[in-house]
Structure 1
Amino acid sequence: MALPEPEKELRQKLFFDWQLSPEQRFFLACSGGADSTALLHAAHALALRVEVLHVNHNWHPDSARWAEHVATLAAGYGYPCRILDLPAKQGGEGPEDRARRGRYLLFADQMRAGDWLLSAQHQDDQAETMLLQLLRGAGVDGLAAMPERRRLGAGTLARPFLELTRASLRQYLRQRGIRWLEDPANNELRYARARLRERIWPLLHELGWPQASRVITRSAANIADQLAVEDAWYAQQAMLCWPDGEIARVLSVDFLEQWAPALQRVFLRRWLRDLGMDAPDRQSLERLRQLFAPSQGGRRVELPNLHAWRQGQKVQIWQHFPSHEIPAQEWKPLAPCGQGDGFRWCWEQPVRAAQGLREGAVIIGGAELQGRTLRWTKRQAGAHYRNSAGHRRPLKKFLLEVGVPPFLRDDVSILYSDTDEILWIPGFYLRKSALHGTEVLWVDLIHPTGNPGDGTDPGEMLRTRSWRYWRALS
């Protein structure tokens, strides 16, 4: 006997297209609505090993009852269920976007390496996503809509129903007499998706496009192919630009100026994305691109949530300027740990930061610093320093060499040794030294707000996360 369409599609995706083991354990996101209930029933029909995740948004009087319904539904199938409470404050452009971001953050926290989360978005959801992105003026990333699979936390988010319609999933449930919840928000016209469902799709059908969702989804799939090509090209160029595999927020003008403007824009968008920054609109992106034109040295560009500076043949960008308010002070890095005004330290093995220090902690030296007096200070007019060879040089020249813009040179905090050698300028420079012995000196900055502020890892010479990302597994 032939399997019903949702069960057939789920089996095809999991065990043939994605080649997962029948022993694979899954998380399954279930709101209690028709789509996720259909996914849950199909998973049970295929005897999948499942744990249900439900997010309680706490934004409706019946939220607790819905959570109880999902827990009861999961128990009826013999599945465990976790109820996750959405925090009250989430970033985003509107209530829908904030809820979506919050859900995925909660889901990501549950994921471990090898975990898969099944989610029930379908063809109509995909078409709505693409149309909404189009109305927002999105680029290729947005118009490709939702990938079938993508990284989520340490695991994988999978959408096996993207080729099925909303109507087919509801028919599947009705034929089996399975009830589902109706969220009244789905019909509230203040939400963009509700307006599409209630007003736009019926009008398109009336005007002669009954297959609008299917056709729009096909276009999204075509754009996703183009996105994959762009991503592959960017990855190749990133390997040439940063051979060690770590994306820097400093980019060579010589590397970019050889390309046509369209390629420059593609590269810049993905560069910003890899740095964890939102790509600006086209007009702002063009202003950034112009920094790579001839004769633009010493120019500064201010964009929403993005600052850029060109000095010579280098362009630097920041989401927030480095801001490390460390008062002038002297200190001795005594073992095992200690804390100063605005920073802390620990002596620990060089393979990892000591417990209690954040991920951005840096190694500023080894045994040669034991018992010595170090000092934090700001730049003073006419100040000098000594390089590793002991030669005295103007500090202003050194700050220029390491890329500190003129408008930040009086604000950066500088860590000196007792011989006036510069050990660390957070966000710009870290002395490299030969490490001897089993313990090294780790130093971490303490931010009053608990937020690093500039979004960079100051100890990695302006480098951030690896370019070895992937949007989908295919």
Structure 2
Amino acid sequence: MPDLNSQIIASLLPGSCRKVFIAYSGGLDSCVLLDLCVALPALTGKIVAVYVDHGLQTASAEWGEHCRRRAECLGVDFQLLQVDAHASGGESPEAAARDARYRVLRQLLDTDDIVLLAQHREDQMETLLLQLFRGAGVSGLAGMPMISVFGKGQMVRPLLDVAKVEIQRYAQTRGLQWVEDPSNQSSDFDRNYLRNEILPLLKQRWPSLDKTVARSAKLCGDAAQMIESWAEHTLPTVFDPTDGSFNVAGLPVITSTQLNCLLRQWLGRMGLKPPSQAVLQTLVDQLVGGRVDTAAQIYIQGSVVRKYRQKLYCISEKRLQKETRSKQWMQEQERIVLNNSYVLTRNSASAGLSKNLWNTAKVTIEPRRGGEKLKLPGRVGHHCLKKLYQEAGVPPWERDIRPLIYLDDRLATVAGLWVAEWAWLDAMDACYQLDWRLPETM
């Protein structure tokens, strides 16, 4: 078995690398990782050791100081980040700490930056077994990837194929000093229970268990990559990027397994984690295979999935919050952020709402109350908003949150859609258009 050395790091570094952030807890694994990186001339001046203080241990501040001193001795930059890692309802402490840590690390990275994590082969084995016990599919059983996109940069786990015993041997040979987290000895947490109570017994029977399980993770990763590739190729046939909808009517002839895969891919595109099989089955039964228009709605991770005209929509619950009170739009304001995070923006235009009327009126934003009517330019008679929404194919939930703009208590425009005939003007630079959208799409 070859000795652990810095070349394992060098072989995984991208061609262009601006900064290398190392998740440095002060423990054995991250100490070895930092030591290996410092030995690489190509990383001189690029390394930043990052200690994330979760605030869950009384000694965490002392560990942070240890990490700072060690970084100074090695001549590398150091950052200490504090996070709130307390678990919310239904969340495990381990998951809460991991998510908090990844969140702050992700914010550090810019283009051509990478973050290195010190997880090794035994960590990979633990991850795969825990996923297996939770009933995960192929993606979950793939374990942790060695290289993955992370924020604006990349996350790399260069020790993922390295055995724990090799890391220990390297640390002893180099005379490294590290801190020991006493919570690692507690079997209250799932991973610690597996590591302290179960795996020692399994490895007595199967000494190479970490290597064979890692091989299984690699095979599952290959399978997951093939599935992911198919889904990425197929999803554009049913995905509308303008509104994020999933077109049920446009589905090709596929199996139920492939449909589930596409739905997972779509929900991931909408920012959700992979849902359980039970949730997917409910979605298929009630929405995909249900009536063309259905009032059914399925709640997933703070979002709501609904169906309208053979299309599925995934909307965050916050976006569905309705404005209940009038809000005045002051003349000097070009944009207003609403309670549900939507943004109203006023832009100059050559056709639309008359600037003169706007500038001389009291402008208010009103919620829909029902019964509103508009007479549109070039159309005979007044039309109920309900009918206009139906004609335009506006989903029912959007009708209740799309703001109405009044000039001197008279309905002038439905933001982003129509302008009343009395307020309409077609004249160069004499008009306003009102946009209504989420900030990330502006």
Question: Equivalent residue for 2:20?
Answer: 26
How far apart, in 2, do the equivalents of 1:435 and 1:292 lie? 46
Out of 89-98 and 413-422, give the one that drifted further: 413-422
| Match of residue 328 from structure 1 | 326
**Structure 2 vs 1, CA of residues 73 and 440 (structure 1 numbering), >3 Å: closer, same or farther?**
farther
Residues paired across the two proteins, number? 420
Structure 1 residue 60 corresponds to structure 2 residue 57: yes
8 Å contact kept, 2:365–2:406: no
Indicate conservation of the 8 Å contact 2:6/2:40, yes or no.
yes
For the structure 1 residues 219 and 85, does the alpha-carbon distance in structure 2 shift closer, same or farther, using more than 3 Å as the test? same
The partner residue of 1:39 within 30, 33, 36 is: 33
Structure 1 position 45, deviation (Å):
1.8
Q: Determine the structure 1 residue equivalent to 2:232.
A: 235
- Corresponding residue for 2:75? 78
Residue matched to 2:176: 178
Q: Name stretches of at least 5 consecutive residues in structure 2 with no aligned partner.
A: none
SS of 2:221's equivalent? helix
| CA shift for structure 1 position 266 | 0.4
Q: Could you tell me which residue of structure 2 aligns to residue 393 of structure 1? A: 383
**Percentage identity across paired residues of the two chains:** 27
Shift in Å, 1:115: 0.9
Partner of 1:131: 129
Greater relative contact order (Cα 8 A, min sep 6): structure 1 or 2?
A: 1
Give the aligned partner of residue 404 of structure 2. Answer: 415
- Name the structure where helix makes up a greater proportion of residues: 2
Aligned residue for 1:168, secondary structure, equals helix
Equivalent of residue 301 in structure 1, options 297, 303, 319: 297
Rounded to whole Å, the distance in 2 between the matches of 1:302 and 1:359 is 22
2:66 maps to a residue whose letter is H
**1:293-319 deviation per Cα after TM superposition (whole angstroms, max 9, x unaligned):** 264532413345443332332222334
Unaligned runs of 5+ residues in structure 1 are 345-357, 445-456, 466-474
2-structure distance, mates of 1:226, 1:430: 46
Amino acid in structure 2 at the alignment position of 1:83: L
Structure 2 length normalisation: TM-score? 0.83
TM alignment of 1:21-420, pairs within 5 A: 21=16, 24-47=18-41, 48-49=43-44, 50-87=47-84, 89=86, 93-206=91-204, 208-242=205-239, 246=241, 248-256=243-251, 258-290=253-285, 291-293=287-289, 295-305=291-301, 306-320=303-317, 322-328=320-326, 331=328, 334-335=331-332, 337=334, 343=338, 361-363=343-345, 365-367=347-349, 368-369=352-353, 370-371=355-356, 372=358, 373=361, 374-387=363-376, 389-391=378-380, 392-401=382-391, 408=397, 411-416=400-405, 420=411
SS of 2:401's partner is coil
Give the C-alpha shift of residue 211 in structure 1: 1.5
Aligned mates of 2:427, 2:55 — CA distance in 1: 53
Give me the whole-angstrom Cα distance separating, in 1, the residues matched to 2:74 and 2:149.
28
Separation in 2, partners of 1:111, 1:440:
39
Give the AA of the match of 1:251: F
Structure 1 residues 414-441: Cα deviation after superposition (integer angstroms, max 9, x where no partner): 32465856432xxxx6569999659976
Seen in structure 2, the aligned counterparts of structure 1 residues 110 and 380 have a Cα distance that, compared at 3 Å, is closer
Structure 1 letter corresponding to 2:224:
L
SS of match in other structure, 2:12: helix
Offset at 1:147?
A: 1.2
Corresponding letter in the other structure for 2:226: V
Structure 1 length-normalised TM? 0.78
CA contact (8 A) 1:6 1:164 kept: no
